[in-house]
Amino acid sequence: MVMLPPAKPRSARPRPRRPSISDPTRERLIDCAGPIFADRGFQATTIREISTVAGENVAAIHYHFGDKLGLYSEVVLRSTRAAQVDAIRSALAQQAPPDQILRAVIRARLQSLNRRDLPDWHFRILLHEFASPTPALGQVVEHVGRPIFLRVLDLIGGMLGLPPTDERTRLCAISVMGQIIAYVFATPLLAGVWPELKMTPEQVERIATHIGDFSLAYIQTFRAQHQALEPQPVSPAARNGLRQFEKKSTSTASLRTTP
Amino acid sequence: MVMLPPAKPRSARPRPRRPSISDPTRERLIDCAGPIFADRGFQATTIREISTVAGENVAAIHYHFGDKLGLYSEVVLRSTRAAQVDAIRSALAQQAPPDQILRAVIRARLQSLNRRDLPDWHFRILLHEFASPTPALGQVVEHVGRPIFLRVLDLIGGMLGLPPTDERTRLCAISVMGQIIAYVFATPLLAGVWPELKMTPEQVERIATHIGDFSLAYIQTFRAQHQALEPQPVSPAARNGLRQFEKKSTSTASLRTTP
DNA sequence: GCTATATTCAAACACAGGTTTGAATAGACG
DNA sequence: CGTCTATTCAAACCTGTGTTTGAATATAGC
């Protein structure tokens, strides 16, 4: 039995020495907890269910993570590190015309929402965090929301010929991201209003193409109008932001974001 | 003491004879419960807090509503009947060019999200319902989501020159509504990414104008292109959907939706 | 005023679920 | 082999919370 130090009478967490390296039960708990938390949210999830699914004892959670929130924070931390940000980042980093980069970002974000294999449930944790914030919300915003949004801001600012901090740039970025999150957040509504909608890969591709078309219509028109009025020096990031409409729904530029 | 009927051994709800007409305690409970449910969600809300705020006994909730879910359902029902749908409906019913109707719908929806007086919290219940559905979700979708979405579908279909059931119409409607709900659902994210954003009436007006511009850019271009290619008979609802860009950010067509 | 019904109240009940405990087990190291 | 530490386990603990109860009170009809 471990004697707990007399100081800190309320934070009695044994915390094994190296919480980093792979402990099989620790990993199993995190892996099983992720989808359950994503389904039910932090509060409605019982650690007994997690421990049952993981085949571990309830006390193991407290032994390894201190308490329920400790496990949840670890899950959120893993979630933020997962493929999402990387996919977006690689989409944003590629050498391509900005409108194609925007389409790739939209497609990557949309695809990550509906794959049933791995990172599917990450976004649902975000949804729960937005509805009922926990102490982990700051982490999520800081590690997922902010970096993606800032990069999209750069990209769109370049396409508009405006600084990323311009209100019009921000509004456009929100418009683009808003169209995407509608398909996660409003899932129950969509089910009631468009029941035939099945998120097959082809359907996701069509949606991504639509959001790209829808967004570029405004962005390109804006750029054209404002460059005609006030010809300011073209920022290098926006050099390709001016192409006229390509033929619609035949794009499929085939730049996948996953290797 | 009321003898409960021997049948239905598990649904022991006394239910006073006329649950419709105004009972002061009943009304007080519903009124106090609304914002609390909207803040914390169904599960995290305790009926003791509601009864304390309302100055009523805990058992009063069970007496008047059967159980916690009964009270919640009543709150949701009231919420769905509240100003939201009416505002949208009146915006959709007015005699005006469709693009102005669309702008009015966007503005009405956006305004209803950020007023601090009455119907402010209604949307937050929706957010919680989407994250953690309760048996009341069907009601919400049926009475709020569906009617609004169907009407927007009609409107946009008319503007595009497509039937409301066409996939392109649906995608456009989701794009428009998605831009709006982003400002509710992603509030914590926006706070981290655009901290200066304050939802003043002027700011809401600018956002509404932007979403209108952003959406009409695509819709009008689509209509122009497709009407040029295949001149089909113009549906009466779309007769005004073709105007060219007006000068931006000077619209403020000043058609309020509240009397 | 009297009785019956509707409503309110404080208290108790039941139980779910996070947390703690103390013993049992397993390795590690000498 | 023996001791020490890390880990696992079943059980108990305890608080919060939905629900029930039975009495007390108000209200209506006669």
pLDDT per position as a tens digit, B105-156 = 999 888 877 665 444 678 888 889 989 999 999 888 888 888 889 989 999 9
pLDDT of residue A154: 93
User: Considering only alpha carbons, which residue of chain A is nearest residue B245?
Assistant: A221
Give the model's pLDDT for residue B230. Answer: 57
**CA/C1' separation B5–C3 (Å):** 23
Please give the nucleotide, over all strands, whose C1' is closest to the CA of residue A2.
Answer: D5
Cβ of B206 and A167 within 8 Å? yes
Residue A259 pLDDT > 50: no
Note the pLDDT tens digit of each residue in B40-73: 999 999 999 999 999 999 999 999 999 999 999 9
**B186 contacts A182? CB cut-off 8 A:** no
Q: Residue A115 has what pLDDT?
A: 60
pLDDT tens per residue across span A36-81: 999 999 999 999 999 999 999 999 999 999 999 999 999 999 888 7
Q: What's the pLDDT at B126?
A: 85
CB B153 within 8 A of CB B173: yes
pLDDT bracket for residue B12 (50, 70, 90): very low
| Closest by CA position to A29, among listed A75, A73, A66 | A75
Please determine, for residue A7, whether its predicted confidence score (pLDDT) is greater than 50.
Answer: no
> Does at least one atom of strand C sit less than 7 Å from the CB of B60?
yes
Higher pLDDT, A68 or B255: A68
Mean pLDDT of B245-258: 36
φ/ψ bin of B8: left (φ > 0), alpha (ψ from -120 to 50), beta (otherwise): left
Name the nucleotide with the smallest C1'–CA separation from A58.
Answer: D9
Task: Look at A245 and B221 and tell me if their CB atoms are within 8 Å.
Answer: yes
Instruction: Find the Cα–Cα–Cα–Cα dihedral A139, A140, A141, A146, rounded to 10°.
Output: 100
For A55, A94, A139, the CA distances from B252, given in Å and listed in that order, are 61, 40, 39
Q: How far is the CA of A140 from the C1' of D11 (A)?
A: 37
Q: Do A132 and B133 touch (CB under 8 A)?
A: no
pLDDT value of residue A35: 93
> Cα distance from A193 to chain B (closest Cα, Å)?
6
Instruction: Tell me which chain A residues have a C-beta less than 8 angstroms from the C-beta of B186.
Output: 130, 145, 174, 177-178, 181
Task: Identify the pLDDT of residue A180.
Answer: 93
The residues, ordered by sequence, that sit 6+ positions from B225 with a Cβ below 8 Å of its Cβ are: A245
Residues A12-28 pLDDT 10s: 334 444 444 578 889 99
Distance in angstroms: CA A3, C1' C22: 13
Tens digits of per-residue pLDDT, B185-207? Answer: 888 889 888 999 988 889 999 99
Task: Note the CA–C1' distance, B56 to C10, in angstroms.
Answer: 12
**CA A243 to CA A54: how far, in whole Å?**
53
B129: which chain A residues are within 8 Å (Cβ-Cβ)?
188
Give the percent of chain A with pLDDT over 90: 48
pLDDT at A98: 92
- pLDDT given at position B163: 96
What is the reported pTM? 0.79
Q: Answer yes or no: do B181 and A182 touch at CB < 8 A.
A: yes
**pLDDT of amino acid B47:** 97
A135 touches strand C (CB under 7 A): no
Whole-number Å distance, CA B52 to C1' D17?
A: 14
DSSP symbols for chain A: -PPPPSS-TT------S-SSS--HHHHHHHHHHHHHHHHHHHHH--HHHHHHHHT--HHHHHHHHSSHHHHHHHHHHHHHHSHHHHHHHHHHHSSS-HHHHHHHHHHHHHHHHH-SSSGGGHHHHHHHHHHS--TTHHHHIIIIIHHHHHHHHHHHHHHHTS-TTSHHHHHHHHHHHHHHHHHHHTHHHHHHH-TT----HHHHHHHHHHHHHHHHHHHHHHHHHHHHHS-PPPPGGGTTTTPPPPPTT-------S--
Q: Which residues touch strand D (CB under 7 A)?
A: A 1-2, 14, 16-17, 23-25, 56-60, 63-64; B 1, 12, 45-48, 58-59, 61-62, 67-69
Average pLDDT over chain A, rounded to an integer: 79
Q: Which of A139, A167, A137 is nearest to A153 (CA)?
A: A167
DSSP B193-220: H-TT----HHHHHHHHHHHHHHHHHHHH
Q: How many CB pairs under 8 A join A and B?
A: 162
Q: Is residue B14 over pLDDT 70?
A: no
Which of these ranges, A23-32, A140-149, B67-76, B243-252, has the smallest mean pLDDT?
A: B243-252
